[in-house]
Amino acid sequence: MENSAIRIALIGDYDPQVTAHQAIPVALGLVAEHLNRNVQFEWLATEQIHADTPLGDFDGFWCVPASPYKSEDGALRAIRFAREQQRPFLGTCGGFQHAVLEFSRNVLGWVDAEHGETSPDSERAVLTPLTCSLVEAVDTIHLVPDSLIAKAYETSQISEGYRCRFGVNPLFEQELLNDRLQAVGHDSSGDLRAIELNDHRFFVATLFQPERAALKGQMPPLVRAFVEACMEPR
């Protein structure tokens, strides 16, 4: 069992033109080499995620950038499975946004919660345009000590790259960030950039894209931590 394959589902609609989609297989390859483990990944197109999709076959779930997804419901179904079944989860950029949306609807019971990218006129748009669009930007992120993400980076201050236009709506941020969903990363302006669930063994989501480091030959610490969590017995 020690060398059995680690199976990771990539939730999103693969597009070879998307930089993050180019980077993710490279990042997983670097981690697999570092850990000397067989890491297998499968792209799960959101339109193909239904009630009978065998999500239980996967050790972990990574909800990837490049939203809006073809099926918001498909993405949310996979995120909910990972959250409820205690499967390691990583969400980057669009994955962060949809982790927030899934939590809003299925944990807080905000059935009218929407993503401002697809429903800009919604009264409960929990995700709205960032005051400063973070497209091809790099910024400093301050991490909460002892958070999963800070442990992964082994520091409380990091620099990461973005390609993101939407973040948590400040109107709902205080209600969203209760005891379960915690803010663990803020940028140099104090804006929310990373979240974790504190009742889950590994559920981390970032607005930035740590996978991009892999295109420079660098193993992303957060991806390594995610894969290591996938290696642990269920």
State which amino acid sits at residue 182.
Q
pLDDT tens figures, 44-57 = 999 999 999 999 99
User: What was the pLDDT predicted at 51?
Assistant: 94
User: What was the pLDDT predicted at 151?
Assistant: 97
User: What was the pLDDT predicted at 132?
Assistant: 61
Q: In angstroms, what is the C-alpha Rg of the chain?
A: 16
d(CA 204, CA 131): 23
Please tell me the chain's helix, strand, coil percentages from 3-state DSSP, rounded to the nearest 5: 35, 30, 35
User: What was the pLDDT predicted at 137?
Assistant: 73
User: What was the pLDDT predicted at 149?
Assistant: 97
d(CA 1, CA 29): 20
For residue 64, the SS3 value is coil
* Helix and strand numbers, DSSP H then E, in the chain: 6, 10
* Residues paired with 197 in a beta bridge: 181
Lowest mean pLDDT: which of 36-40, 88-92, 135-139, 153-157?
A: 135-139
Q: Is the peptide bond before 68 cis (omega within 30 degrees of 0)?
A: yes
6 pLDDT exceeds 70?
Answer: yes
pLDDT tens figures, 168-179 = 999 999 999 988
36 pLDDT exceeds 90?
Answer: yes
1 pLDDT exceeds 50?
Answer: no
User: What was the pLDDT predicted at 130?
Assistant: 82
Find out whether 62 and 35 touch, Cβ atoms under 8 Å: no
75 pLDDT exceeds 60?
Answer: yes
What does the pLDDT average to over 203-208?
96
Percent of the chain with pLDDT over 70: 96
3 pLDDT exceeds 80?
Answer: no
pLDDT tens figures, 130-160 = 866 666 677 889 999 999 999 999 999 998 8
pLDDT tens figures, 206-228 = 999 999 999 999 999 999 999 99
For residue 185, the SS3 value is strand
User: What was the pLDDT predicted at 30?
Assistant: 98
HEC letters along 104-167: HHHCCCCCCCEECCCCCCCCCEEEEEEEEEEEEEEEEEEECCCCHHHHHHCCCEEEEEEEEEEE
d(CA 129, CA 38): 39
Mean model confidence pLDDT for the chain: 93
